[in-house]
């Protein structure tokens, strides 16, 4: 079956994810001030949004099962072998942190952000795994 995949949208989202990675790699939150903390909070938030959007695009365009929420997107991506469970487990932690940044931003502790800076390489793993999945689907003739 040939799927109509919005590759340009995915590539835009991947480009922003790479920008978030670049920013996170420069920010070491424990020894920085308020501006750096705000920058890291925004990088975390945007990185998770990018991963969610990429997941949603893949799920929608490949007509996979409908997710019930953000955490379900991760489960579907794992079940469909787009990402490895090791990436999925970190992504789930980030989704919970994203929720705190959006809804309970006054309660986010510096240690939560520091944990993100210790795991930010998962963004690159996610990117590589998505690209590998898309390449495999191209080779199978499932996408243009």
The C-alpha atoms of residue 114 and residue 82 are separated, in whole angstroms, by 27
pLDDT attached to residue 110: 83
Q: Is residue 52 part of a domain?
A: yes
Q: Is residue 2 part of a domain?
A: no
Q: Is residue 78 part of a domain?
A: yes
Residue-wise pLDDT for 60-70, tens only, equals 999 899 999 99
Residues of the chain with pLDDT under 50: none
103 is catalytic: no
pLDDT attached to residue 24: 84
Q: Is residue 144 part of a domain?
A: no
pLDDT attached to residue 75: 97
CATH number for the domain spanning 16: value is 1.20.120.580
Q: What is the pTM of this model?
A: 0.91
Closest CA to 138 of 79, 53, 62, 54: 62
Q: Strand, helix or coil at 43?
A: helix
Total domains present in the chain: 1
Residue-wise pLDDT for 73-92, tens only, equals 999 999 999 999 999 999 99
Can you give the residue range of the structural domain that contains 112? Answer: 7-139
Catalytic one among 37, 98, 100, 103? 98
pLDDT attached to residue 27: 77
Tell me the helices (H) and strands (E) count for the chain, helix number first: 6, 0
């Amino acid at each position: 079956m040939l799927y109509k995949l919005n590759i340009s949208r995915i590539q835009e989202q991947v480009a922003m994810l790479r920008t978030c990675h670049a920013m996170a790699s420069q920010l070491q939150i424990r020894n920085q001030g308020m501006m750096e903390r705000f920058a890291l909070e925004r990088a975390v938030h945007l990185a998770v949004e990018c991963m969610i959007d990429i997941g949603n695009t893949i799920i929608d365009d490949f007509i996979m099962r409908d997710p019930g929420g953000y955490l379900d997107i991760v489960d579907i991506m794992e079940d469909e072998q787009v990402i490895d469970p090791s990436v999925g487990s970190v992504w789930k932690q980030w989704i919970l942190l994203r929720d705190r940044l959006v809804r309970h931003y006054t309660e986010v502790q510096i240690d939560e952000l520091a944990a993100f800076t210790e795991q930010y390489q998962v963004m690159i793993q996610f990117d590589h795994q998505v690209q590998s999945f898309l390449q495999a689907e191209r080779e199978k003739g499932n996408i243009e």
